[in-house]
């Protein structure tokens, strides 16, 4: 796979200068960029160098940009621009400072149950908005959840309109967080991939935060750790049959009852995170840093 040659001070478009790399996957990489205008910093999502002129990759980038434009919501990064031509095609997105949930857990953060409930409620409301708009995310997982005073669900590269998701003929997403029907897409008895798949994936992510480990099976939550009302709600959302799971809105309402005193996303800045000895390497997330003041 070709190495990136972009470094700080490189310009990807007029008025858009690389600050540092944020992360990425096999096809794309995300960079923090300084931009000219009212928003001083943003995130640029670029195809890897060998895919910069790949027609399929550019089409997926265009579809992702269109999805983000249609899905404007406080729990989703704001779409700022889509550039499909030139040396560095990219999406330009709102920058939400903070670590992703995966990095926080790997760093040893122990999130309290009320905080996990508040986080889950905020993300479930974003999923309810996505479903109401006729879309499905298809890759909800801890590394796509940004911990911020207003948590964000990121990376809509695999997002599909519901009609397209229902016609999937193969599994797409991240295997460890896929619902049973998402894993069996295209099989005669595999079921239909829809909003319930996102509910399952969110529940799998919350299970990881509660239990400290991933699911051992796509339909077997850890009964030893998913205790109490929040654990019961998460277990319900992990039902093997999509029809037995709560809707995203039902999950949000249920979790909000057990969240901190202020279950809204803006109230999470005051929630408790217990950092490991030596602290967290999180670049001062408001979601975490507020607990140290």
User: Is 53 designated active site?
Assistant: no
Site of tokens 């990807």? 12
78 vs 7: CA distance, rounded Å: 25
Instruction: Provide the pairing of β-strand 160-161 with 135-136.
Output: antiparallel
Q: Which residues of 274-285 are buried (b: 16+ CB within 10 A; e: fewer)?
A: ebeeeebebeeb
Phi, psi of 159 (to 5 degrees): -60, 145
- Cβ-based neighbour number of residue 249 at 10 Å: 17
∠ CA 259-159-136, rounded to 5°: 55
- Are 80 and 42 within 8 A, CB to CB? yes
Counting Cβ atoms within 10 Å, is residue 266 exposed (0-12), middle (13-18) or buried (19+)?
A: exposed
- Are 103 and 166 within 8 A, CB to CB? no
Out of 10, 81, 139, 241, the active site residue is: 139
Helix (H) or strand (E) holding 231: helix 228-237
Q: Catalytic site residues?
A: 139
């Amino acid at each position: 796979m070709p190495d990136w040659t972009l470094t700080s001070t490189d310009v990807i478009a007029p008025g858009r200068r690389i600050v540092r790399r944020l992360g990425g996957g096999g096809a794309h990489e995300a960079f923090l960029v300084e931009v000219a205008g009212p928003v001083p910093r943003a995130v640029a999502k670029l195809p890897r160098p060998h895919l910069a002129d790949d027609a399929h990759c550019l089409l997926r980038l265009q579809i992702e940009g269109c999805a983000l434009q249609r899905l404007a919501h406080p729990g989703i990064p704001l779409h700022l621009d889509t550039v499909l031509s030139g040396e560095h095609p990219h999406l330009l997105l709102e920058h939400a400072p903070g670590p992703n949930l995966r990095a926080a857990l790997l760093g040893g953060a122990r999130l309290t149950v009320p905080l996990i409930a508040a986080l889950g409620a905020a993300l479930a409301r974003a999923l309810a908005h996505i479903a109401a708009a006729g879309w499905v995310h298809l890759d909800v997982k801890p590394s796509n959840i940004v911990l911020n005073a207003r948590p964000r669900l990121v990376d809509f590269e695999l997002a599909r309109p519901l009609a397209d998701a229902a016609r999937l003929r193969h599994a797409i997403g991240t295997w460890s967080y896929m619902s049973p029907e998402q894993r069996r897409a295209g099989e005669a008895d595999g079921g239909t991939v829809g909003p319930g798949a996102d509910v399952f994936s969110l529940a799998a992510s919350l299970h990881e935060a509660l239990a400290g480990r991933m699911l051992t099976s796509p339909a077997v939550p850890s009964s030893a750790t998913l205790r109490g009302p929040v654990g019961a709600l998460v277990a319900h959302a992990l039902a093997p049959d999509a029809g037995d799971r709560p809707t995203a809105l039902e999950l949000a309402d249920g979790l909000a009852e057990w969240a901190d005193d202020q279950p809204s996303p803006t109230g999470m800045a005051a929630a408790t995170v217990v950092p490991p000895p030596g602290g967290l390497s999180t670049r001062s997330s408001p979601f975490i840093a507020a607990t140290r003041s």
